[in-house]
A and B are shown apart, each in its own frame.
Chain A
Amino acid sequence: GNSVTQMEGPVTLSEEAFLTINCTYTATGYPSLFWYVQYPGEGLQLLLKATKADDKGSNKGFEATYRKETTSFHLEKGSVQVSDSAVYFCALRTNSGGSNYKLTFGKGTLLTVNP
């Protein structure tokens, strides 16, 4: 079945530090990959996505590249801010066959950025 494994947290960084949150996946076929973010007290928001190999998703200074050869979709940001403190979820959705709509999520990584 499909699964997503992401780096366990919590991750604590100082403002302006470089961020990497690792995500690897197992899936049949060629899934679409997503990063969702959950700010304190809010719902899940789509941060970025990539739908095919070598695609790079980017938003708000965050980037992630779909690496088929390593089945990975690591999230990076060059300089984090206090406002980036949140829980980050990696997710996939298969694009063929049955059930090609449900999202499969990782466990989430809590990021805390200190001033």
Chain B
Amino acid sequence: DTGVSQDPRHKITKRGQNVTFRCDPISEHNRLYWYRQTLGQGPEFLTYFQNEAQLEKSRLLSDRFSAERPKGSFSTLEIQRTEQGDSAMYLCASSFGQQETQYFGPGTRLLVL
């Protein structure tokens, strides 16, 4: 069990650029979640995958955000035309079942200049 990994750990970009983050869940976990954490706040739910199907998207996830999990393994989160308000820590978590413990990765910290 190598844990949930995320890449990159840090990303600095200019406003208007596109960025993509990757999450590799624990290998046998079929559920994958994305959360966003801003300074001084707890994580907020963004989206959820069961295998390759995206089952829910939070209204926090504007049209500029898209997430995929093409083969039910790793997932990517893309932000198009980044804005300064997108600056946050993006967390990925995975679990084996819907009611099971969610294990979190170290996060990707995004700074939009």
Contact = CB atoms under 8 A, between A and B. Distances in A.
Interface of A: 4, 32, 36, 42-46, 49, 89, 91, 93, 95, 99-108
Given A49-B101, A95-B99, A102 B56 contact: yes
A99 B42 contact: no
6 contacts: A32-B99, A43-B91, A43-B105, A46-B101, A103-B43, A107-B42
Given A101-B48, A104-B45, A46 B103 contact: yes
Contacts of A102: 33, 45, 48, 56
B48 A44 contact: no
B99 A100 contact: yes
Contacts of A103: 33, 35, 43, 45, 102
Question: How many interface residues does chain B have, given as a range?
Answer: 20 to 34
A26 B56 CA distance: 22
Contacts of A106: 42
Given A99-B56, A101-B31, A44 B43 contact: yes
Contacts of B45: 102-104
Nearest to A38: B104
B48 A43 contact: no
Given A43-B106, A45-B104, A102-B33, A89 B42 contact: yes
Interface string B93-113: 101001101111111000000
